[in-house]
Amino acid sequence: MKILLRLLFFAGRYWVLLLFAFTCLIGTTAFGMAVPWVIRTAIDTVMGHGESSFLFLAAILIIGASAMRGISAFGHMYLSEVVSQKTAYDVRNAIYEKLQQLSFAYHDKNQTGQLMSRATVDVEAIRMFFGRGLLHLGQLFFLFTGVATILISMNWRLALISLAFLPLIGFRAAKVALRLRPIWLHIQQMLGFIGTTLEENLTGVRVVKAFCQQGGESRKFNTQAQDLYDSQINAARQMAFNMPFMAFLISFPTALILWYGGLQVMEGNLTIGGLTQFMLYLGMMVMPVRRLGGFANMISRAVPAGQRILEILDTKSPVQEKPNAIELEGFKGRVRFKNVSFSYNSKDAVLNGVDFRVQPGEVVALVGSLGSGKSTLAHLIPRFYDVDSGSITIDGIDIRTMKLSALRRDVGIVQQDIFLFSDTIKQNIAYGDVDANIERIVEAAKAAYLHDFVKSLPDGYDTWVGERGITLSGGEKQRLAIARTLLTDPAILILDDSTSNIDPGIEHLIRQALDKLIKGRTSFIITHRLPIIKNADLILVLHEGLLVEQGKHNDLMAGDGLYKEIYESQISAVDTKESI
Amino acid sequence: MFRGGGIGGGGGPKGPVGGPMGRLGRSLYSDEDSGSGKVYDSKVIRRLPEYLVPVKFRLITGAVGMGVRSLASLAAPYLIAIGTDDFIQTGDFKGLTLIVLLYIGAALFVWAGQYVQTLNLSYAGQSILYRMRVEMFDQLQRLSMSFFDRNQVGKLMSRVQSDVQQLQQLLTTGVLNLLTNMLTLIGIACVMILMNARLALLTLTVVPALFCIILVWQKYARRAFTRTRRAIATVNAELQEGISGIRVTQSLSREKINVQQFDNVNKANLNANLDATKLTAVMMPTTEVLNAVATSLVIGFGGYQVLQGDMGVGILLGFVLYIQRFFQPIMELILDYTELQRAMTAGARIFELIDLEPEIRDVDGAIDLPVVKGEIRLGHVSFSYKQGVEVLHDIDFKINPGETVAIVGQTGAGKSSIANLIARFYDVDNGEVDIDGHDVRYVTQQSLRRQIGIVPQDPILFSGNIEDNIRFGHPQTGRDDIVWAAKAVGAHSFITHLEQGYETMVGERGGNLSAGQRQLICLARAILRDPPILILDEATSNVDSNTERLMQESLKQLSRKRTCIIIAHRLSTVTNADRIIVLDQGRIAEMGSHNELLSRRGLYYSMFSALSAPGKMSQSAS
C-alpha cells in the first residue's frame, strides 16, 4: 500500500489533469445513462398515448446526449493517457538520472539487462496502472453508483436482483486474473530463458559449430519451447473456461429481469419502457465489471514493479558530493595515498594500508599479478569508489571534499574495456567535451595517431562506430580512447593497458600515442610494456592488496624482492624481443 | 482500448544499420518497420496451409464452437423481443418463463461454444507457434557462418522472439476475435433484416459511413503507431547505452549532458504517444455519434411503425439491444487492424528466415572423415567473404602431422580466414582444403569438426557450471576426463580454488571469471576430445600476460602429439612454433622458422623490430 501511495505521488503533480479526466469521466457516465432514459420515455410515450411527436425529439436527444458522451469520453481517455504517459516519462527520467549518478559500486553489482528491464517493463506496468487501471476503476465506480441510484429509485426489488450479481462477477473476475498471474509470470520467465538460450547460441555460433553441438542446442531449445507451449496451453485452458463463464454469469441477471420484470409489467408495476431501461443499463455494466479482472492483474503487476523502481530511486550512491564541496581550477598533480584501505564488500580488503606520494608530472607504473589491486587503486583516484580508511589527496586536498565534476575533469582515465558509444567517431572523441570544435577533435586524433586511420574511412570523422556502426580493432579503439582523453587535457592520467590487444604493425603508433598522452601529466599506468615500466619515475609493486615495494627500476632490481621475481619470470619474455 | 507503444527491442533506428563493414552481403532485408504494411500478404498466406493442416481437427472443432457461440449470442435480443411482444404484453407468464429458460439455455450454449472455440483455437495457435520457434532455431543451427557475419545477433533474436510473439497475437486472440466479430456483425445484420427489413436497412446505412471513416483513420493511425514503436526503441537504445557506458560517462563527468539527451528522446516518445492517443481517442465520439444515429433511427422510425401497428414494441427493443452489440465488435475490428498489419509483417519475416538455404551443406554421399593423422594442405586457395573482395589469394601450403605452425600478419591479412576454411565454416572460391588427403567439402561437417579443436578469440561460455562448459555437449564424459583436460591447460588449480570448484556457475558473460580464466576453460573444452588438430584463433589476444604465459606452457605439452595452428598478432607468442607463415594482404609473404625469418630480414623482421623499437619516452629516460 505504501508503494501504491508513493507511486500515486508520481502522478500527483498532474492532479489538475487527473481532476479534469475524472470530471470528463463523470460526464461520460452521466450522458451515457441519459440515453436509456430517453428510450424508455419514448417507448412509454408511444405505448401510452400513441403520440408520435415525442419520437423526433427523442431521436435528437439521443444523438445529442451521445455526442456529449463521445466528447467527454475523448476527454477522459486522452487526459488519463496524458497523465499516464507523463508519469512514465518522469519515472524514466528519474531512473536514468539516478543511474547516471550511482557510483561504480552499484553498477558492478547490477547487470545492464536487469536495470533495463526495470526501466522498460516495470515502467510500462506502472503506466498501465495509471492509465487504464485507475480509469477503469473510476468508470466502474461512477457507473455503478449512478445506475444503482436510478434503478433503486425506479424499482428497488428489480434493482437488487440485477445488481446483486455484479459484485460477485467482479470478485470472480479478479480471482481468475490473480490465479492466471503465476502462469503468466512463468510464461514470461520461460520467454526469458528462451531468450538467453538463443542469445548464447547466436553469440557462440562459432563454438557451437566447431563442436558440432547444433543437435544438442536444438534439443535444449526444444525442451524450453515445449515448456513454454505447456504453460501457454495451461493459461489458455483457464481462460477458455473462465472468460465465457463470466459472460454466462452476466446473462443471469438479464434473464431474471426479463422474467421478474416481465411479471411486474404484467402486474402493471413497471412499464415496457422501464423494462427496456433496466436491460440497457445492465448491458452498459457488462464491460466495466469484466474489466475488474484486468484491474486486479494490473495492480498485482504494478506493485512489485513500483517496488523495483523505487529500489533504484531510493539507492544512495556511496560516493556523495559534500554540500560545500570545493571547485578547483586545475591541478598541479601532486598525489598522495595516505594509508589507504579499501574493499568492495567491506569484508575482504582489496587494498590494505597503501601509502605513497607522487610529484607532479611523474610517471607511476603499477605492477603486480592478476587481482593484486592495481585497477582498484587506479579507480580510487577519480573517486569511482570511496576508501574505507585513510585518504587520498591531490595537491594536498582530500578528494572527498572536492566537487566530483571538477575532480574528474582533471583526472583522465583510459580504461581496459574500451566502450564506444553508438555515434560518430567525431562525437566519440568529443564525448568528454561536447563543445569541442572539429579542429580540436582532429588535433586530438592526430596526437593519438588515429587521424590517418579515420581519414581512410569513407565517411571520415562522421563514420558510425559502436553497436550499430563499424567494428574497430583493439588498437584503433585504444587510440580513440586516448584521443578522447587527450581532448579533455587532464592533469592526472590513469591508463589501464593490461591487455595488449594490439596489431603488430601499429604497435609503434600506440606507443607514440602513449608517449604523447603521458607527457606533462602525472600518470598512473597499468601495463606490460617494458620501456614504460623501466623508465617510470615510480614503480608500485602490489601483492594481494599490499604495497610491497616501491621505487625506480634500478633500485628495485638491486633488491631481491617481488619486482625482481616478476621481472625475471614475466617481463623478460617481452624483454627478449628488446635485445634483438 | 489504449494501444500505446509497447516495449520495443533494444535496437532503435538511430544510426546506419548494417553488419560489420566489408561483409555486407545478402542479408535478411526486412526491417521491423519497413514491412509492407499490408493486411494481406499473399506470400505469408500461401505458406499457412502447411502449418494449418496438421492442426485441422482443432481448427474445425474451434470453428464449430465459434459458430455455436455466435448463433446463440444472436438469439438473446431476439428472445427478449419475442418475450416482450408475445408474452409480456399478452400477460402470458408461462410463456415468459419458457422464454427466460430459453434465454438461459442460449447463454449456456454461448458458454460452451466459446469454451470449445477458445480452447481448440489456442491449441492450434500455440502448436503452430511452437513449431515455428523450433523451426527457426533449427534453421539458425543449419545456416553457415557467412549468414551470421551479415546478420546481427540482436536482429535475429528479435525475429525469433518479437516476431513470433507478434504472430501469436494474430493466431490466438487476433484471428479469433476477427472471425467472431465478423460473424457477429453479419449475424446481427441478418437477424435485423429478418425482424424488420425496412427498419434494418435504414439502420444499417451508418455502416458504410463508419467504414469510410475507418479507412481514412487507419492510414493516420498506422503512421502514428509506427512512430511510437520507433520512439520507444530509441529510448531503450539510449537507456541501454547510458547504462553500459556509465564508466566512461562518469570518468568524463558527462552525466548532466546525458540526462539532457535522454530527456530529449524520452520527450519525443511522450509526444509520439500522445499523438497516437489523440487518434485513438477521437474514434470514441465518432463511433458514439454513429451509434446514436442508428439508435435514434430505430426509435424514430421504429416508434412510428409501432404507433402504426406495423411492428411490436418488443421488436423495437430487440433492435436497440442489437445496436448496442453492434458497435463493440466494430471498435475491436478497428483496433485489430494495426495488429493484423504487424502480424503480417512478422509472418513475412519469419518465413524469410525459415526459407533461407544454408550455403554450406553436406554433399550427397559425403563420407565420414576417418580418424586423421593431422596433415593439412591448402592447395591454391582463394577466398572472399563478399563477392569481388578477395581476402585470400592463391594460398598454398602443407602442414605435416604433429607440426606446430603459426600464422601471423596484420589485421585483415586473412589469418582467421584460413582457420575458418580448415574447419569449413566457409567454402573456398577456388582451390581446395585437404585433411589427410580428404577434401573437406566431401566429408560430413560433423566428422570433420569433431577432429578439430578450436579456441576462438572471445572466450564464450554458456550458462551452466564450469564442468558443463568444459564438457559442452558430451554428456557421457566423466569427471575424470574433465579434470584431465583442465589440468592439461593449467586451469585446474584456479578452478579448485573457487568456492564451488567445478560446480561454480558461470553466467551470461562468464560471471565472475576473468577473461583469462574464461579462455582457459575454452581451451580445456577444445582439448577434452583430444582432437588431432588444434586451432588457436587469436586465443591469447584478450587475456592478460599472466594467463598468456600459462597457456603457452600448456601448449608446449598439448602441441606435442597433434597438429597445431596458432593464429596470433602478438609475435611473442609464436617464436617457438616449428614454422611461421607470414600473411600480407591475403598472400603468403614468408614462411619459415623464427630464426630463419629473422635472418631473412623481410616482413617478419620489420614487424618484429617495429614491436621492439623503443618509444620516445624510453629513449629520453634512459
pLDDT in tens, B188-202: 899 999 888 989 998
| Residue A314: how many other CB atoms lie within 10 Å | 9
Query: Which of A70, A262, A473 is opposite residue B289, by nearest beta carbon?
Result: A70
Q: How far is CA B420 from CA B146, B186, B201, B426, in A?
A: 10, 62, 72, 6
Please say whether the dihedral angle defined by the alpha carbons of residues B146, B151, B152 and B157, taken in this order, is positive or negative.
negative
The C-alpha atoms of residue A223 and residue A200 are separated, in whole angstroms, by 16
A395 touching chain B per CB within 8 A:
no
For B29-56, how does the pLDDT look when each residue is reduced to its tens digit (9 = 90+)? 544 444 445 667 778 888 888 888 898 8
A164 touching chain B per CB within 8 A:
no
Mean pLDDT of A97-103: 88
Lowest mean pLDDT among A47-56, A176-185, B578-587: A47-56
Mean pLDDT of B340-365: 84
Please say whether the dihedral angle defined by the alpha carbons of residues B255, B257, B261 and B263, taken in this order, is positive or negative.
positive
Instruction: Verify that A298 and A343 share a domain, yes or no.
Output: no
How many independent structural domains does chain A possess? 2
A488 touching chain B per CB within 8 A:
yes
Q: Exposed, middle or buried by CB within 10 Å (0-12, 13-18, 19+), for A350?
A: buried
Lowest mean pLDDT among A108-112, A305-309, A334-338, B518-522: A108-112
Instruction: Find all residues with CB under 8 Å of A552, minimum gap 6, and list them.
Output: A536, A537, A538, A539
Counting every residue written for chain B, the total comes to 622
| Residue B26: how many other CB atoms lie within 10 Å | 12
pLDDT class of A394 with cuts at 50, 70, 90: very high
Instruction: Verify that A29 and A104 share a domain, yes or no.
Output: yes
* Domain termination site, one of A314, A347, A377: A314
Residue B306 to chain A, least CA–CA distance (Å): 8
The C-alpha atoms of residue A410 and residue B252 are separated, in whole angstroms, by 9
Residue A89 to chain B, least CA–CA distance (Å): 6
| Residue B90: how many other CB atoms lie within 10 Å | 11
Residue B88 to chain A, least CA–CA distance (Å): 6
For A191-210, how does the pLDDT look when each residue is reduced to its tens digit (9 = 90+)? 878 888 888 888 788 788 87
Instruction: Verify that A371 and A493 share a domain, yes or no.
Output: yes
Identify the top-confidence range among A11-15, A29-33, A104-108: A29-33
Block residue for cell numbers 404507433: B307
Instruction: Verify that A303 and A265 share a domain, yes or no.
Output: yes
Q: Which chain A residue is nearest to residue B131, measuring alpha carbons?
A: A225
User: Which residues of chain B lie closer than 8 angstroms to A73, CB-CB?
Assistant: 281, 284-285, 288
Burial string for A19-54 (b: 16+ CB within 10 Å, else e) reads: ebbbebbebbbbbbbbbbbbbbbbbbbbbeeeeeeb
Query: Which of A205, A279, A498 is opposite residue B80, by nearest beta carbon?
Result: A279
Instruction: Give a three-class secondary structure readout of A30-89.
Output: HHHHHHHHHHHHHHHHHHHHCCCHHHHHHHHHHHHHHHHHHHHHHHHHHHHHHHHHHHHH
Q: What is the mean pLDDT of chain B?
A: 81
Q: How is residue B102 written as a grid cell?
A: 430459453
Q: How is domain B38-196+342-359 classified at the CATH fold level?
A: ABC transporter transmembrane region fold (1.20.1560)
The DSSP symbol for A402 reads: B
The C-alpha atoms of residue A390 and residue A383 are separated, in whole angstroms, by 14
Instruction: Verify that A151 and A261 share a domain, yes or no.
Output: yes
A223 touching chain B per CB within 8 A:
no
Instruction: Find all residues with CB under 8 Å of B123, minimum gap 6, and list them.
Output: A233, A236, B55, B58
Closest CA to A521 of A342, A332, A339: A332
Q: Exposed, middle or buried by CB within 10 Å (0-12, 13-18, 19+), for A71?
A: middle
Mean pLDDT of B529-553: 79
Would you say B576 and B405 are in contact if contact means Cβ atoms under 8 Å apart? no
Q: Where are the alpha helices (DSSP H) in B298-414?
A: 303-308, 313-354
DSSP states of B30-80 as a string?
A: --GGGS---S--HHHHHHHHHHHGGGHHHHHHHHHHHHHHHHHHHHHHHHH
Instruction: Verify that A89 and A158 share a domain, yes or no.
Output: yes
Instruction: Verify that A244 and A340 share a domain, yes or no.
Output: no
Q: What is the mean pLDDT of chain A?
A: 84
Instruction: Verify that A368 and A256 share a domain, yes or no.
Output: no
Q: Is B509 helix (H, G, I), strand (E, B) or coil?
A: coil
Q: Look up the CATH number of the domain holding residue A97.
A: 1.20.1560.10
User: Which residues of chain A lie closer than 8 angstroms to B259, CB-CB?
Assistant: 93, 96-97, 100
What does the pLDDT read at residue A539? 92
The C-alpha atoms of residue A12 and residue A6 are separated, in whole angstroms, by 9
The C-alpha atoms of residue A445 and residue A439 are separated, in whole angstroms, by 10
pLDDT class of B399 with cuts at 50, 70, 90: very high
For B265-296, how does the pLDDT look when each residue is reduced to its tens digit (9 = 90+)? 999 999 999 998 888 888 878 888 888 898 88
What does the pLDDT read at residue A301? 80
For A146-164, how does the pLDDT look when each residue is reduced to its tens digit (9 = 90+)? 988 988 888 888 888 878 8
Closest CA to A524 of A331, A333, A386, A276: A333
Would you say B103 and B95 are in contact if contact means Cβ atoms under 8 Å apart? no
Instruction: Find all residues with CB under 8 Å of A271, minimum gap 6, and list them.
Output: A40, A43, A44, A47, A48, A265
Residue A280 included in any domain: yes
Q: Higher pLDDT residue, B145 or B375? A: B375
Residue A301 included in any domain: yes
Would you say B213 and B293 are in contact if contact means Cβ atoms under 8 Å apart? no
The C-alpha atoms of residue A540 and residue A566 are separated, in whole angstroms, by 13
Q: Where are the alpha helices (DSSP H) in A315-450?
A: 374-380, 404-410, 425-429, 438-447
Residue B280 to chain A, least CA–CA distance (Å): 9
Residue A339 above 90 pLDDT? yes
Instruction: Verify that A232 and A360 share a domain, yes or no.
Output: no
Strands B587-592 and B452-455: unpaired
Instruction: Verify that A261 and A365 share a domain, yes or no.
Output: no
Closest CA to B269 of B5, B457, B609: B5
Instruction: Verify that A351 and A307 share a domain, yes or no.
Output: no
Q: Which chain B residue is nearest to residue A101, measuring alpha carbons?
A: B255
Residue A18 included in any domain: yes
Q: Are A58 and B320 a contacting pair at CB < 8 A?
A: no
Residue B498 above 90 pLDDT? no
Backbone phi and psi for residue A355, each to the nearest 5 degrees, phi listed first: -145, 120
Q: Which chain B residue is nearest to residue A264, measuring alpha carbons?
A: B88
| Residue B544: how many other CB atoms lie within 10 Å | 20
Query: Which of A74, A283, A369 is opposite residue B284, by nearest beta carbon?
Result: A74
What does the pLDDT read at residue A350? 85
Q: Which chain B residue is nearest to residue A265, measuring alpha carbons?
A: B88
- Residue A81 belongs to what domain range? 2-314
Closest CA to A402 of A422, A381, A418: A381
Instruction: Give a three-class secondary structure readout of B381-447.
Output: EEEEEECCEEEEEEEEEEECCCCEEEEECCCCCCHHHHHHHHCCCCCCCEEEEEECCEEHHHECHHH
ipTM of the complex: 0.81
**Torsion on CA atoms B128, B130, B133, B137, rounded to nearest 10:** -120
Q: Are A62 and B299 a contacting pair at CB < 8 A?
A: yes
The radius of gyration of chain B's CA atoms, rounded to the nearest angstrom, is 35
The C-alpha atoms of residue B541 and residue A501 are separated, in whole angstroms, by 5
Residue B223 to chain A, least CA–CA distance (Å): 19
What does the pLDDT read at residue B291? 87
**Torsion on CA atoms A471, A475, A480, A483, rounded to nearest 10:** -170
Residue A506 above 70 pLDDT? no
For A227-252, how does the pLDDT look when each residue is reduced to its tens digit (9 = 90+)? 999 998 998 888 888 888 887 888 88
User: Which residues of chain A lie closer than 8 angstroms to B160, CB-CB?
Assistant: 194, 198
Q: How is residue A90 written as a grid cell?
A: 518522469
The C-alpha atoms of residue A62 and residue B295 are separated, in whole angstroms, by 8
The C-alpha atoms of residue A36 and residue B324 are separated, in whole angstroms, by 11
What does the pLDDT read at residue B12? 33
Instruction: Verify that A144 and A223 share a domain, yes or no.
Output: yes
In CATH terms, the superfamily for domain B376-612 is: P-loop containing nucleotide triphosphate hydrolases (3.40.50.300)
Q: Which chain A residue is nearest to residue B572, measuring alpha carbons?
A: A574
Closest CA to A429 of A453, A398, A450: A450
What does the pLDDT read at residue A90? 92
Cα angle for residues B380, B386, B390 (degrees, 5° grid): 35
* Domain termination site, one of A264, A283, A314: A314
Would you say B538 and B568 are in contact if contact means Cβ atoms under 8 Å apart? yes
Q: How is residue A561 written as a grid cell?
A: 624482492
A81 touching chain B per CB within 8 A:
yes
Residue A41 included in any domain: yes
